[in-house]
Copies of this chain bind each other. A is one copy, B any other.
Amino acid sequence: MDEATGWEPRYADRAARMRASEIRELLKLLDRPDIISFAGGIPDPALFPMEEAREAYAKCLASETVARQGLQYSVSEGYQPLREWIAGYMGRLGVRCTPDNILITSGSQQALEFIGKLLISSGETVLVEMPTYLGALQAFSAFEPQYDELRLENGNRTAASYGETAGRSERVKMAYVVPDHANPTGKTLSVAARERLLDLAQDLDIPVVEDTAYAALCFEGEPKPSLQALDVKRCGSIDRSRVIYCGTFSKTITPGLRVGWICAAAPIVRRLVLIKQAADLNCSLLNQMVMHRLAESVFEGQVKRARTHYARRRDAMIKALANHMPAGVSWSEPGGGLFVWLTLPAGVDAAALLQRAVDEIGVAFVPGAAFFPDARGRNTLRLSYSLPDEPTIREGISRLGRLVAAL
């Protein structure tokens, strides 16, 4: 109870049930010049297309007619030319669709929140990998689901088994995955695992929420086919697909305009448009217009630059880990994205290690337990290589290696 306001304890306090992000506190360490932070996981601002953003805002605001439109309220589904561009992009990824299949959201975080609101009622079961994206757990938590674990690469359970754990099969409401270069593990699902997930979803007759935040940041070869592309192949049309695809420009162009999207069957999008309208009416039209210009002019180039940039940093981190981590420590070797997932010897507590790392060696990371909906993962941690440059990565990992070796 907060004594300051006597009526507070009276209300259904969803916020109190929401997981406060420990990452929030850790992000403050990013600003401390004495700390080498692997805690972030946000894109490197050195990659932002500054000149092009400047020009795009200037051009949109130069015409009186366009500026008046950009500064006015707008339709909830989003700016039509941007929806068209995204529909074209989805087509290139193997999902033939139209703007009616696209809703513009304030980043893909808002997409997750809307999907939670559409799908989840209290006590129903959401299937997730464990660990999984903390922000998804936060977005869903207001709707009070239970979680059950997907093990897609091996040991996956049957639909009947998930139904039993949920109480009965109809209480399993959706599956959520980050199939490519996942936050926090950096891992990518094999095509076989993707097909198994679609089989399971078919057996349970549930939608699959596909979070593709890092899919474009693929360091070697081409990205794997999306779950949605595989499902559209199965069912013949986006409008019959059970996959709800969440996309974003945050990791490729910039997160500062808050522009992401949902691609889904048109009947789903129509419902989500109502949710958008009730939630915040519409995304800033000016920002959507600017993002449309940037998507047209710099998207491909940005993706290429980001792949090269982050691949170099991934290389530096993996090499430094091999050089400095003692036996008994293992880590993922991501083929893209921004994260390495590190497993300490059983019994080592990453939260306690973080405290010592910040105080004694000036290094920060995120303890892995934050990414589990249950109490697991205490001996794991997430390292991001997105912000520090290569020499800093080597220095930070070398310090961390020495600290871990001395445990």
Contacts and interface: CB of A to CB of B under 8 A. Distances in A.
B61 A278 contact: no
A48 interface: yes
27 contacts: A2-B267, A4-B265, A5-B240, A5-B267, A11-B174, A14-B275, A16-B271, A24-B277, A42-B73, A45-B69, A46-B68, A48-B72, A50-B68, A54-B61, A57-B58, A58-B58, A72-B256, A73-B250, A113-B279, A135-B281, A256-B285, A256-B286, A257-B286, A258-B283, A280-B280, A284-B284, A284-B287
Contact of A107 (B69, B239, B281): B281
Interface string A176-190: 000000000000000
Interface of A: 2, 4-8, 10-16, 18, 20-21, 24, 42-43, 45-46, 48, 50, 53-54, 57-58, 61-62, 64, 67-74, 76, 105-107, 109-110, 113, 117-121, 124, 135, 138-139, 141-142, 170, 173-174, 205-207, 239-242, 250, 254-258, 265-268, 271-272, 274-275, 277-287
A379 to B, nearest CB: 27
This protein's copies in its complex: 2
A12 B271 contact: no
Given A4-B239, A275-B142, A14 B113 contact: no
A15 B142 contact: no
A6 B6 CA distance: 48
A107 B331 CA distance: 43
A113 B278 contact: yes
Nearest to A46: B68
B54 A5 contact: no
A196 to B, nearest CB: 18
B48 A68 contact: yes
